[in-house]
Every structure is written in C-alpha cells, then in structure tokens.
Chains A and B, each alone.
Chain A
Amino acid sequence: MRALAEELWKDKPGLIGFVLIVTIVLAAILAPLIAPYDPATQAVVGRLKPPVWMAKGDWAHLLGTDQLGRDILSRLIYGARTSLIVGILVVALAGTFGGTIGLLAGFRGGRTDTILMRLVDIQVAFPGLLLILLIVAVIGPSMVTMIVVLALTNWMIYARVVRGIVLSVRQMPYVEAAEMIGCQQSRVIFRHILPNLTSPLLTLGILEFTNIVLAEAALSFLGLGVQPPATSWGLDVSTGKDYIFVAWWLVTFPGLCISVTVLSINLFANWLRVTTDPQEREKRFARARAATRRRQERRAGVGRETP
C-alpha cells in the first residue's frame, strides 16, 4: 500500500487525477453540508449574477447564479451526486450482468458459449444511443429509466472480457489440475478465477465509468435524462446554452465539471493500468532508463543522429 502511494506520488498527472477524484467524491457525499444553498431554490431578484471575481459579482454566490437565481456552486456540488450515482449504478448493474454472462459462457463452453457470445455480437452491432433515445421516448424520461437503459446497453464488454479471462485461466496448469482432482465448480470460480478477474475488471469498470458519465451528461443535455427539478451537469449546460451571450458561466462551469471529472479518472486509470500490468511496468522502466541515458549522453556532449 505504501509502495503504491509512493509510486502514485512519482506520477504527477496520476496524482492530480487521484486528488481531484477524492475531492469530487467528497463533495458529492457531503453535498448537503458544504453546498451553500439548496440547488433548487430560486430567487427572481438575484438572477444571472456573475461569479465573485467579476465586476457585479458578490461573495454570496461564488460562481454566480443562473437564469432562475439558483446558486451555481450548489448546483455543481449536487450535480456531482447525479453523475456519480448514475455512473456507479450503471457500472455495477452492467458489470454484474455482463460478468455473469461471461463466466457462464467461459465455464459452460460449447453451445452455451456460442449462443451467449452470438447474442453479445448481435447487441454490440446495435445502434446503441439511438435505441436508447427510442426507448426513453416511449417510456418517458426519468433517472431510473436512464440507469436501466444504460445498463442494458453497456453490459457486453464485461461479458467479453470476463469470458476471455476465464478461458485463459482455465488453461493454466493449476486450474486444470484443480478441475481434474474434482474440485467443485463454485470453488474453482471463487478460489482461482475471481482473483484473476479483479484487476482487469477494476480497470475496465473505471474506464466504462467515464463513458457513462459522458453518456448521462449527453442524455440530460438532450432532455432525455435527468429531469428538473433534479440537477445534472448536462442538464445545466442545456438550460444555460440559451443564455450563453449574457452569462457565459452557466455553460462553462458545469461543462468544466464534466470534463475535469472524466479527465481526472482517465489520468488515474492511466496510471493504474500501467501499475497493475507487469508488462507495462517493464516498458515504463525501460523508457525511464532510456530517457536518463539520453540526458546523460547529451550532457556528455555525445552527438547522436536524431531520427
């Protein structure tokens, strides 16, 4: 654990990402405590106030107010909740379902495998987002609809990854041996296969999480996701875009929040992937050595043909 922390300390972008993620998660959890206002409270008189550093801004609303006089900062803090809840639930639902299908296909093999994987192939070729739009249009937009529909359209990748790992793990001598001596399947799954799944599934889940955050924002932007009076960053950009000329802060801040959240997760995931993958670690080491050598050579004045 400590070694990990030290490694993270060395990778500055990864560290920045990690710190930002922790901040966002804390903000989401502690929203009622740290948000200065209720995100839905309107004030007709105090509409479209600019952020504090602008000429007409004041300390009452650090990031200004929107077209209904709602406090932007409070809306951003509560918006983090929406993004994280939708992201976590969708990844959990899709991961569980897809993972189970993958386990089943990898373990049973034969016809079960063929049928399940054919299903995956077929659904991967579906026009995903358009189909989501159609379903939401028919059933009616709400946060629950969005979570369910996003989970139902994003489980396939987990199935593929899990199945691939199960197949390769089962070919390892010790698993083959365990199966041969008649270990129960559940034991094989829990003792030998699940531990091998944790790390790749974690990385995959984190990357998928960023996709879901973006998808939630896009759906809410199109008016088919989170519905007012609930808050969401995508929704705020959508309502703010009509005011872009008089109040740039309405679209800029929520958009920036989406971007920063996804970026920090990506930075962190980038570090995590390299750190948990032995091959990547080797490459990183080699690269660092090469860079040091180049620097030394340059310092020594050794001319080198540049490619």
Chain B
Amino acid sequence: MGRFILRRLGQGFLVVLGVSLVVFVAMRVFGDPAKVMLPLSATTEQRAEFEHLIGLDRPLPEQFVTFIGELATLDFGDSLWQRRPAMEVVFERLPNTLMLVGAGLGFAMIMALPLGALAALRPGGIIDRVTVIGGLVGLSTPQFWLGLLLIMLFAVQLRILPTSGIGGVSHLILPALTLALPSMARMVLLVRSQVIDELNQQYVKTARAKGLRFHQVLFGHALRNVMIPFITLAGWEVISALAGYTVVVESVFAWPGLGHTAIQAIQRNDLFLLQAIVFTVAIAIVLVNILLDVIYKFIDPRIKLA
C-alpha cells in the first residue's frame, strides 16, 4: 500500500511537471508577460526593470530552472491585483471551491444511485423513460444558462434563496445544484444501464430462484457491482469540476472560490495569481486520483494496486 502511494505520487509529480512545462511555454515563449501585466503607459525602463525582476532577460533554459525552483517552494510571486503572495489568496479561496464541489457532487451522487436504480427496475417503463429523457436534458444544458434560470426563479421571483455570494447554507444551494445537475444526469444514466445489465446476469436469476427476495439481490449483489464504474465516473466528475467547470458556476453566482478568482485574475492581467491557481488545482487533481485508487481497493479487494 505504501509503495503504491509512493508510486502514484511519482506519477503525480510528472503531471505537475507537465503542467509547469505547458504554463512556462505558454507564458514565456508564446506570450509576453511584460506586455500583459504592465500598464500600457509603462516606459521602456519600467519594462526592462520588470523583465529583469521576473528573469525574462535570461536564456530560456535558465529561466525554466528558476521557474521550477520557485514552484518547488510554492513561491508564485505576489499577486498584482491583491499585492500579497499569490498562494495566500489561493489558500483563502480553495476551501470555498472544495465546499461547492463537495456539496454539489455529494448531492449528485446521493441522488443518482436511487434514481438510476429505480429507473432500471422496469426498463422501458414510464419512470425509466422519464429518467432517461430527463438525464439527457440534464447533460445537454449549459451550466451558465441553468444558473441564470435558477437565479431568476428561486432568487428573484420566489425570493427564497439569495442571488449570489457566500454566507450560510442558503447561499450554497443554487450554485451546488447548478454544478450538480449535469453530473447527476451522467451518473443516473450510468447507474441505470449498469443495474439493468446486472439484473440480467445469470446469478441474479439463480439467486431469485433460490428464494432470495428481490431487494436482497439488488442491494446485496447488483448494486455492489455497480459501485466500481459509479466511483470511476464520480471521480471523473470531481476532477473535471475542479479542472475548470466550477469557473462557470462560480462566476455566475459570484462565489468566491478559485474559479471566480481565476476569472478576476484574468480580467486584471494577474498572471502570477492565475498560475498559482492552476498549479494548486493540478496538485488537487493528483491527490483526488490517488484517493480514488485507494477507494477502489477498499470496495473491491481483488483489485491490485499497481
């Protein structure tokens, strides 16, 4: 187990290295940070001073080594916008994003299992049809649009939930729901088709013939086998939410998480802050991936951790 985690950490290190390479190439080779980050009125001297400050006047390979060194010490420079270390801003906003992802996807997972299973009990039946069509609609709806519609309905018309910002549980409901819906749709469809397949397996018929009650079969065997693909999908949903889909939801609801901050950093040409956010999320994704593997092992001991 220990060796396995070590190995996955090694892979994670490669991922972070890859991300840094991409960021480095994008920023220093294709882009011109001095042009983006300095005001237009900047003089040639100010420009030279800035370039010297972040090492743009040195050869590229040397720059890359320094860059990696700074990353290793989590030194991303000062945020231009906030004028304090970028990491400080990131650590302030990270919990908000985690809270949003946790609430949204937690809700999606809890709802998806029973809904999917319910639909699978009678394939082609009315519940099944409604679930499938509903699921397809859910995963076809753009989140930014859904968010706006929910604000209009619940915050402005009915006035039972706040429009934006962060505060109590009430502030969390709409953004979490918006984040949850497409994920929930994908999960419901997956659970449904997996359960249908399982219930058609020979062992279910045998068990039923032996006199086991239906729900014993369903909960005892079928659902357990559904868990592995379900966890895979759920993990993928968590990762893709972290990887950027919270950006959309957070900006619609002005939710002060990493995604909203990333957009604000872009609007203020604050590349240092943006860079710090990208790396933090890359590391978070590596950790989620390792966690997923451990969960697999926990659910199904037959899986070898290699």
Q: Is B60 an interface residue (CB 8 A)?
A: no
Q: Is B245 an interface residue (CB 8 A)?
A: yes
In the complex, the answer to whether B281 meets A127 with C-beta atoms within 8 Å is: yes
For chain B, residues 141 to 163, give those with C-beta under 8 angstroms from any C-beta of chain A.
141-145, 148-149, 152, 156
Contact residue among A132, A137, A210 (Cβ-Cβ distance under 8 Å from B140):
A210
A267–B277 Cα gap in the complex (Å)?
37
Interface string of A218-247 (1 = CB under 8 A from B): 100110100000000010011001001100
By a CB distance below 8 angstroms, the chain A residues around B19 are 126-127, 131
Q: Is A217 an interface residue (CB 8 A)?
A: yes
In the complex, the answer to whether A125 meets B145 with C-beta atoms within 8 Å is: no
In the complex, the answer to whether A263 meets B137 with C-beta atoms within 8 Å is: yes
Interface string of B99-122 (1 = CB under 8 A from A): 000000000000000000000010
Q: Which residue of B lies closest to A245 (CB)?
A: B156
In the complex, the answer to whether A251 meets B148 with C-beta atoms within 8 Å is: yes
Q: Is A300 an interface residue (CB 8 A)?
A: no
Interface-side segment among A24-32, A51-59, A254-262: A254-262
Q: Is B87 an interface residue (CB 8 A)?
A: no
Number of B interface residues, CB 8 Å?
Answer: 61
In the complex, the answer to whether B243 meets A222 with C-beta atoms within 8 Å is: no
Q: Which residue of A lies closest to B274 (CB)?
A: A134
A241–B285 Cα gap in the complex (Å)?
32
Interface-side segment among B21-29, B46-54, B164-172: B21-29
For chain A, residues 22 to 81, give those with C-beta under 8 angstroms from any C-beta of chain B.
none
**A222-B247, A291-B124 known; A130+B137 contact, CB < 8 A:** no
By a CB distance below 8 angstroms, the chain A residues around B240 are 128-129
Q: Is B18 an interface residue (CB 8 A)?
A: yes
In the complex, the answer to whether A126 meets B145 with C-beta atoms within 8 Å is: no
Contact residue among A129, A244, A283 (Cβ-Cβ distance under 8 Å from B244):
A129
By a CB distance below 8 angstroms, the chain A residues around B245 are 129, 218
Number of A interface residues, CB 8 Å?
Answer: 50
In the complex, the answer to whether A130 meets B144 with C-beta atoms within 8 Å is: no
A134 to chain B, nearest CB (A): 5
**A237-B144, A241-B148, A255-B142 known; A125+B285 contact, CB < 8 A:** yes
**A126-B243, A137-B274, A218-B144 known; A244+B15 contact, CB < 8 A:** no
By a CB distance below 8 angstroms, the chain A residues around B271 are 134, 137-138
By a CB distance below 8 angstroms, the chain A residues around B121 are 307
By a CB distance below 8 angstroms, the chain A residues around B214 are 307
In the complex, the answer to whether B140 meets A266 with C-beta atoms within 8 Å is: yes
Q: Is B66 an interface residue (CB 8 A)?
A: no
By a CB distance below 8 angstroms, the chain B residues around A270 are 136
Q: Is A200 an interface residue (CB 8 A)?
A: no
Contact residue among B30, B33, B251, B281 (Cβ-Cβ distance under 8 Å from A130):
B281
Q: Which residue of A lies closest to B138 (CB)?
A: A263
By a CB distance below 8 angstroms, the chain B residues around A214 are 142
Q: Is A121 an interface residue (CB 8 A)?
A: yes
A178–B33 Cα gap in the complex (Å)?
55
A255–B146 Cα gap in the complex (Å)?
9
A14 to chain B, nearest CB (A): 11
**A132-B244, A267-B136 known; A126+B142 contact, CB < 8 A:** no
By a CB distance below 8 angstroms, the chain A residues around B15 are 122, 125-126
A56 to chain B, nearest CB (A): 21
**A138-B27, A283-B200 known; A244+B152 contact, CB < 8 A:** yes
In the complex, the answer to whether A266 meets B274 with C-beta atoms within 8 Å is: no
A158 to chain B, nearest CB (A): 17
Q: Is B131 an interface residue (CB 8 A)?
A: no
Q: Which residue of A lies closest to B144 (CB)?
A: A221
Interface positions of B (Cβ within 8 A of A): 11-12, 14-15, 18-19, 22-23, 26-27, 30-31, 33, 36, 121, 123-125, 133, 136-137, 139-145, 148-149, 152, 156, 196-197, 200, 214-215, 239-240, 242-245, 247-248, 251, 259, 262-263, 266, 269, 271, 274-275, 277-278, 281-282, 285-286, 289
Query: Could you write out 12 A-B pairs with CB less than 8 Å apart?
Result: A13-B133, A123-B18, A129-B245, A138-B271, A237-B144, A237-B148, A241-B148, A245-B156, A251-B145, A262-B140, A266-B136, A266-B140
Interface positions of A (Cβ within 8 A of B): 13, 118, 121-123, 125-135, 137-139, 210, 214, 217-218, 221-222, 224, 234, 237-238, 241, 244-245, 248, 251, 255, 258-260, 262-263, 266-267, 270, 283, 286-288, 290-291, 307
Closest CB pairs A-B (n = 9): A129-B244, A138-B31, A255-B145, A263-B140, A262-B140, A127-B281, A127-B243, A307-B214, A137-B266
What 4 additional pairs, Cβ within 8 angstroms, besides A131-B22, A222-B263, A255-B149? A129-B243, A134-B271, A218-B248, A248-B152
